[in-house]
């Protein structure tokens, strides 16, 4: 808590927390904080899963190994239910998406001012720590899935089969222009829905945490601890933060699961021909 004379206004506080650490201009602007935390979380994911794999044994597994096996079995079950083709990529892809998005989302539980304050001590003025609350990150991931949808469409049906289905499904060759319009919309809707659903839920969650933090904005520590209104603000903020965090804990794995499941379903749909149904 800062002294009142040094405290930002509510609008300044919200704007500051919603501003990325960037480099470049216009279309070529890079959100360095999103890239940094995405890499750190991705490397952490690879490190712990590799560590668990190296410690795999027929004896009683460790807690880390048991947790990793639980995740792998969970994802493998989801893949078997939704993808009926033959591919060695789908299960590792689904696992990577689920764990990586889950780690992205978990960053929303970190106290809103903790990491920005630490990084500010090293001269970093702006910092957003939740990659999934950055539209550029969610669209980057969904566009990767979109490319795989096109690849699996060709792998499952062949180039000729994919083109034929794109031009003639669902109304037949006579209404080819309508087929093209419908299929283009359907293709584009998939990455859009993936990206916007994840971004919208996590951005809203982050914004609510910021709004709750406004309860004690501009209140000095001395004032907060020596007045009834100060203690009321601290208690109210703590209760609201706890309540929203508990609810958000349900949203965090759910959004990762939805992104993973839809990816598997979309790739399964791309791999199978409509004539197979």
Active site residue 193: yes
Res 3: pLDDT: 40
The catalytic position among 62, 193, 220, 273 is 193
What is the pLDDT at residue 213?
Answer: 83
Catalytic, 105? Answer no
pLDDT of residue 231: 66
201 is catalytic: yes
pLDDT < 50 regions, the chain: 1-5, 277
Predicted confidence at residue 204, as pLDDT, reads 92
Domain extents in the chain: 4-149+187-276
| Identified catalytic residue from 197, 220, 233, 273 | 197
pLDDT value of residue 226: 63
What is the per-residue pLDDT across 52-61, written as a single tens digit (0 to 9) for each?
Answer: 888 777 676 7
Which DSSP string corresponds to the chain? Answer: ---GGGPPPHHHHHHHHT---EES-GGG-EEHHHHHHHHHHHHHHHHHHHHHHHT--SSSPPHHHHHHHHHHHHHHHHHHHH--S--SSHHHHHHHHHHHHHHHHHGGGS-TTHHHHHHHTTT-------GGGSHHHHHHHHHHHHHHHHHHHHHHHHHHHHHHHHHHTTT-GGGHHHHHHHHHHHHHHHHHHHHHHHHHHHHHHHHHHHHHHGGGTT--HHHHHHSHHHHHHHHHHHHHHHHHHHHHHHHHHHHHHHHHHHHHHHHHHHHS-GGG-
Structure pTM? 0.88
Catalytic residue among 153, 179, 201, 233: 201
pLDDT tens across 12-22, in order? Answer: 889 989 999 99
pLDDT recorded at residue 217: 65
């Amino acid at each position: 808590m800062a002294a009142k004379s040094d405290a930002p206004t509510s609008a300044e506080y919200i704007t500051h927390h919603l501003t990325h650490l960037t480099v470049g201009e216009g279309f070529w602007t890079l959100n360095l904080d999103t890239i940094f935390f995405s890499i750190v979380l991705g490397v952490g994911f690879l490190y712990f899963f590799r560590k668990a794999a190296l410690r795999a044994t027929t004896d009683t597994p460790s807690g880390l190994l048991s947790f990793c096996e639980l995740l792998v079995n969970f994802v493998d079950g989801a893949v078997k239910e939704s993808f009926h083709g033959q591919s060695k990529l789908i299960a590792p892809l689904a696992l990577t998406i689920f764990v990586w998005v889950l780690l992205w989302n978990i960053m929303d539980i970190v106290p809103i001012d903790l990491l920005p304050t630490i990084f500010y001590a090293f001269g970093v003025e702006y910092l957003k720590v939740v990659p999934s609350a950055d539209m550029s990150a969610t669209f980057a991931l969904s566009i990767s899935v979109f490319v795989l949808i096109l690849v699996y469409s060709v792998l499952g049906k062949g180039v000729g089969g994919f083109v034929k289905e794109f031009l003639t499904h669902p109304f037949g060759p006579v209404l080819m222009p309508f087929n093209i319009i419908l299929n283009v919309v359907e293709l584009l809707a998939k990455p859009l829905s993936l990206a916007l659903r994840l971004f919208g839920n996590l951005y809203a969650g982050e914004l609510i945490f910021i709004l709750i933090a406004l309860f004690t904005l501009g209140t000095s520590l001395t004032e907060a601890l020596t007045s009834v209104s100060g203690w009321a603000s601290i208690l109210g903020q703590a209760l609201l933060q706890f309540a929203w965090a508990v609810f958000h804990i349900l949203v965090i794995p759910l959004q990762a699961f939805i992104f993973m499941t839809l990816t598997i379903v979309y790739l399964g749909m791309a791999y199978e021909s409509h004539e197979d149904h």
